[in-house]
Amino acid sequence: MPAKVFRAWTLVAVGQPPRFVLEERRAPVPHPQGVLVEIESAVVLSYMNKVLDGSIGYATPPLPFVPGTKAIGRVVAIGAEVSHVAIGDRVFLSPHFIADEPALEPPQILIGLTATGTARFGGVAEGSRKLQHIWRDGVFAEMTHWPASCTTPLRGLDHIPAERLIALAKLVVPYGGLLRGGMEPGQTIIVNGATGYFGSAGVMLAAALGASKVLALGRGRAGLARLASALAPRVVPVAVTGDHDSDVAAIQTAAGGKADLALDLVGQAASTTTTLAALRSLRRGGRLVLMGSASVPLPVSFGDMLSNNWEVVGNFMYPKTAPGKLAALIAAGLLDLSPIRVRSLAFSQLPDAIQAAVRMRDLDLTAVVRD
């Protein structure tokens, strides 16, 4: 049986500064399709401070709620309809919950963060708000109640410390983009925004999955050099300037021709020039996967799209099987987590961890671990 009382960081008021309290809660009885999990390690997003003070404009759950999105933990209780995990299993918790209903566009949320629709994405569906009432609380707690469909067993990984295994949280998002792009071993892959939080993980993962060459695009030469040094030898840094023609020339020179797939992970970009340069550096039939964001349009030429048979696709998050696939690669020794620099703070130091996360760069990851 789980402990009857646990501590949770609860957001009671959004603002600058947000009102955040550490409180005691009673463990709930799990939903028939839910699990109770004791948290070992939880990731802290670089922009969590903006979520909590309201400046990012996310459609957060009804107050009060416990923030936090991804975690590693142990199952301590399961609902009556849960069969794929058992009490005692080590698990990865994913926040991306999609309602299991026969609808063309079922509602979805990111637990502990936002409904999928926000001011940026065009409004929040009523179904998403209903989901947030059921699955309101995230992982910044000693225990959480989580939907079983977002809970992945991590069998064969008990030997890896939680503060290392939490690297899964950084890798799984760009993995979704590489899956959507149909990446295959031996391909040349472009990653735009390579020195960012998810971009650096995309570079690392593309190399681990067998890309013959990974072109790491970014503006900061020092960050690119640091990334290439950590992930050599198939990672090639490409410093872009924002000048379209020179960037296309630099990318194609580094590729030794043209690339097969481009993954764009630039966040809140003020220009799409480099994204367009990545697209125009693809071979005929190449694919550009958009997972970042920009405040301006991407000016794609109708003629170029037709003549090159290119595909431009948007991709949000990852399929629910993705964490398990990555876990299997780690268990088989095919995916080394050591390049990711994890900074761990105690659970009781969560406010400090939120501020530390703002300063992350490339392969950094900030996490809180149980006291």
* CA 205 – CA 225 distance, rounded (Å): 17
Amino acid identity of residue 260, one-letter, is D
Amino acid identity of residue 56, one-letter, is I
For residue 92, pLDDT over 80 is answered with yes
Task: Report domain extents, the chain.
Answer: 5-167+340-369, 172-314
- Which conformational region is residue 285 in: left (phi greater than 0), alpha (psi within -120 to 50 degrees), or beta? left
Q: Which CATH number fits domain 172-314: 3.40.1160.10, 3.40.50.1360, 3.40.50.720, 3.90.1150.10?
A: 3.40.50.720
For residue 116, pLDDT over 90 is answered with no
* CA 87 – CA 84 distance, rounded (Å): 11
Reading the block at residue 291, the tokens are 């997972």
| 231 neighbors 168 (Cβ within 8 angstroms) | no
* pLDDT, tens digit (0-9, with 9 covering 90-100), for 179-217: 999 999 999 999 999 999 999 999 999 999 999 999 999
Homologous superfamily of 5-167+340-369: Medium-chain alcohol dehydrogenases, catalytic domain (3.90.180.10)
Strands 108-110 and 114-115: antiparallel
For residue 129, pLDDT over 80 is answered with yes
* CA 195 – CA 200 distance, rounded (Å): 5
pLDDT score of 117: 53
pLDDT score of 126: 87
* Gyration radius of the chain's alpha carbons: 21
Our CA angle for 196, 335, 48, nearest 5°, is 35
* pLDDT, tens digit (0-9, with 9 covering 90-100), for 51-79: 999 998 889 999 999 999 999 999 999 99
Q: Residues of the chain with pLDDT > 70: what percent? A: 98
